[in-house]
Amino acid sequence: MIALAVAEVAVLPLAGAGFFGAASTGPALSLHLPIVGAAILFGATLALLEPLPPPGPLRSTEPSGTPDPIPADGSPGVAILAATPPEGEIPAGRSAPIPRRSVLGGMLALGALAASGMVVAGRIAGGVGAGRAPARPAPAADGFGPTPAITPIDDHYPPPPPPPPPPIDPASWRLAVQGLVATPLELTLDDVRALAAESSPRTLMCISNSVVAYGSYAGTQVWTGTPVAAVIQAAGGPAADARFVLWTSADGYTESIPLDVALDPRSLLAWGMGQDGGALPHDHGFPLRVLLPGRYGMKQPKWLTGITLAAEDAPGFWVQQGWDQEAVVRTWSRMDDPRDGAEVAAGSPLPVYGVAFAGERGVRAVEVSPDGGTSWVAAELEPPASALSWVRWRATLAAPTTGPRVLRVRATDGTGAVQSEVPESPAPRGASGWQEVRIIGV
């Protein structure tokens, strides 16, 4: 079970397939069946590792473990059961022989583990890589490729497992504003909405998002909400020694942010989502969620119930698991069309489309390389929907010849810093690297 869990919640997300293969549009059975089979094979052979009792008394403790609580906040991963292995004690002057069954079992288990890895890698390289985007989608009517500037609500990335908490009754829900404020209080949803209201398009990205086409955990929507500063001022404002804001959610999730970030006019408590100003859907945090400029989703909890001002920081759930304390969005770009493995017309100019995002720094430029990074072509940028939303880009490359070639993409943020070329997995501070797309001229 542990091998299966690792494959489903660690290996697949790192390969761009999302938790439990949620980002793959290929057949679910063909993705998961080989992984399950490999895990069963590994577990069966590992069972042979149980040693025969050596001469003399041994004492041991049974494995034990307690799973960590897992919030549904669009957070970076899933907690996995931790076990304490058995411990043995051998009388002084005696050494336990290694039974032949253990040696044989170890060899078979290692072989099964290798087979498991090959099966998982094969599924990722084949089915997952081919299934994470539709087959060469047609460019949108606006001319900037297949990715819309504003993500449809139904397509906006959902929270990873486990599922959200039960629906919250807005009539009984309250937001507690407490700690180092002049007048602690509780607000109803109507109280929050009455303080102020503003709407703006914003890109929201999970820290688990990978540098791949159609990355599953990024989307842009129009959000409506009340500035965090207005809510804190309703409680009389922060005390002189307040330095941090601690968030608490209905599902028990906790996070924190420096007070100056919370007081930024762009920091919102969102209660609406969509261009029509509709209510925030439950999956996206109804009745209230946090939106912060330039931070990954782990810092912006859903189902908010409490705001506490404090003099000292209290690291949130995923920070306690080793993820980055600041969670500042890294410069990121992707190529959505053509997709990896596409066959393109040799001898014809090649249109290329994608998106780029650098949080509150903005995107100054995007470049596409037609030859794996030797030369670069400047892309045309569409004016972003807002200063906090992604930028769509397009470029036209010279006609490719027949045969394979590698395209690469990189972005430059508003400060002039070029996106890091070094590939890094999402853990612990967000993915990086220049996306590569392999095409074949035919």
**pLDDT score of 166:** 92
- 272's tokens: 């609406």
Amino acid residing at 301: P
Q: What is the DSSP string of 255-280?
A: EEEEHHHHTSTT-EEEEEESTT-PBP
What pLDDT band is residue 3 in, cutting at 50, 70 and 90? Answer: low
Mean pLDDT across the stretch 83-98? 35
What pLDDT band is residue 140 in, cutting at 50, 70 and 90? Answer: low
What pLDDT band is residue 162 in, cutting at 50, 70 and 90? Answer: low
What b/e sequence results for 77-88 when a residue is b if at least 16 CB atoms lie within 10 Å of its CB, and e otherwise?
Answer: bbbbeeeeeeee
Alpha helices by DSSP H, listed for 124-237, are: 129-131, 189-195, 228-234
Q: Is the pLDDT of residue 171 over 90?
A: yes
CA distance 95 to 98: 9
Q: What is the DSSP string of 58-121?
A: ---------PPP---SS-S-------PPP-----TT------HHHHHHHHHHHHHHHHHHHHHH
Bridging pattern class, strands 343-344 and 435-441:
parallel
Q: What is the dihedral of CA 166, 169, 170, 173, to 10 degrees?
A: -80
Per-residue model confidence as pLDDT tens digits over 242-300: 999 999 999 999 999 999 999 999 999 999 999 988 999 999 999 999 999 999 999 99
User: In 3-state terms, the chain is what percent helix, strand and coil (to 5)?
Assistant: 25, 25, 50
What pLDDT band is residue 238 in, cutting at 50, 70 and 90? Answer: very high
**pLDDT score of 278:** 92
Q: What is the DSSP string of 113-149?
A: HHHHHHHHHHHIIIIIHHHSS-SSPPPPTTSS-SS-S
Q: Is the pLDDT of residue 215 over 50?
A: yes
What pLDDT band is residue 112 in, cutting at 50, 70 and 90? Answer: very low
**Which of these ranges, 210-214, 240-244, 334-338, has the smallest mean pLDDT?**
210-214
What pLDDT band is residue 8 in, cutting at 50, 70 and 90? Answer: low
CA distance 325 to 299: 9
Are the C-beta atoms of 54 and 97 separated by less than 8 Å?
yes
Per-residue model confidence as pLDDT tens digits over 338-389: 999 999 999 999 999 999 999 999 999 999 999 999 999 999 999 999 999 9
Mean pLDDT across the stretch 140-159? 87
**pLDDT score of 309:** 98
